[in-house]
Structure 1
Amino acid sequence: MRKPTSIAAIEDFGRVRLSKSFFVRDFLFSDIAAHHGISNVPEDPDLAIAAGTRLCEDLLDPLQDVFGRVAIRSAYRSEEVNSLGNQLKANCASNEANYAAHIWDRRDGFGRMGATACVVIPRFYDAFPEPGGWTKLAWWIHDHLPYSSLYFFPKLWAFNLAWREEPERRIDSYIAPRGCLTKANMANHTGHHEAEWQGIERAMLGH
């Protein structure tokens, strides 16, 4: 597929279905792009679709099935949009650091495909707003889904959820307990962590 450049082509691209619940259009909005009048569409639509499909089918759909609506805060960024965000210090890493992350249509330096979305799960936050409540969701994802990385933020327990070939399986947070929750070679990385998330699926029934 060629890069969409006309309104009609962008509309058709946005209608591409990535999974049972999500379409490409769900991931194209960018505050930076909207404010600065920049197009936020991929140079390589086929790679973006392939990476986005894995993100949606392997991670976002299973989350939504259990916890209710997954709200997308920030997802795909073109290289131009991400570069501007980095220059403006708008919480955007460099383009190279975001290949196979927020920049879905570029493989990373090791040739791996990937995609990242920053999401909020309103029902989960409503059920567990207390300090440290986010860790229940983090450990549930760790035990159930083939994620590559998670990075949690203070507001509404928003988090970056990444799918990538050869997943890293690392969880970090800007909120207490701040820092790295788990990564390879940490003592808590392997095994099952039901004691950390037990009851959260049942709690969702009341929200």
Structure 2
Amino acid sequence: MRDFLFSDIASIHGFNNVPDNPDRAIAAGTKLCKELLEPLQDRFGRVAIRSAFRSKEVNGFGNEMQRAKKKGYTCAKNEDNYAGHIWDELDASGQMGATACVIVPSFWDSFQQDGDWRKLAWWIHDHLPHAGLYFFPTYWAFNISWHEKPVRSIRSYASPLGTLTAPGMSNSDGSHEAEWTGIEIAFR
């Protein structure tokens, strides 16, 4: 939980990044860990946490700084982050969820070509009950979410930008083994 509670924003600006509802935060975080992060770590080795739980105060400040165009702040509005990075609040539909931004160092070490993030994205999509993935270009960092009502979309700020899959798209269901086969060999 210590890794999840650490926040650069909180450290720099003196905020207390702790949940208002610890029981809900622990319940959501436990699901995130057991269903997504631990299986990911079991398969690919250490998973580095970049950002995970955010208090409403920390996230709200990050959003204010983003809107003011301050470099390094990328937080969505609090209401949009409930059951996302703000684990201790239910979303607008009354559902619980949790998001962490992570890096899989061993994957980055082996796959740095343009678009290689898609190999990991498809592997996760085929093997883990994620609610959503959002990839970034630096070290193929990505938000991975657990949610009571998962959407199972894959989006990216890394090239190619946009939506890789989402419900209703023809590539959403079925196996995508042809897209990730190479990573199975690299991580035996």
TM-score normalized by the length of structure 1: 0.87
Partners in 2 of 1:135 and 1:165 — Cα distance? 25
Task: Report the equivalent of 2:185.
Answer: 202
Bigger Rg, structure 1 or 2? 1
Task: Report the equivalent of 2:69.
Answer: none
Match status 1:167 vs 2:147: no
Partners in 1 of 2:86 and 2:172 — Cα distance? 28
Partners in 2 of 1:113 and 1:202 — Cα distance? 36
For the Cα contact (< 8 Å) 1:127–1:204, is it kept in 2? no
Amino acid at match of 2:179: E
Amino acid at match of 1:51: A
- Count of matched residue pairs: 182
Task: Report the equivalent of 2:108.
Answer: 125
Which residue among 190, 195, 198 is the counterpart of 2:173?
190
Render the CA deviation track for 1:32-71: whole Å, top value 9, x for unaligned: 0000000000000000000000000000000000001000
Contiguous gaps of at least 5 residues in structure 2: 67-72
For the Cα contact (< 8 Å) 1:66–1:201, is it kept in 2? no
Partners in 2 of 1:93 and 1:199 — Cα distance? 35
Partners in 2 of 1:198 and 1:135 — Cα distance? 12
Partners in 2 of 1:102 and 1:171 — Cα distance? 17
For the Cα contact (< 8 Å) 1:73–1:119, is it kept in 2? yes
Higher relative contact order (CA 8 A, sep 6+): 2
Match status 1:82 vs 2:59: yes
Deviation for aligned residue 1:116: 0.2
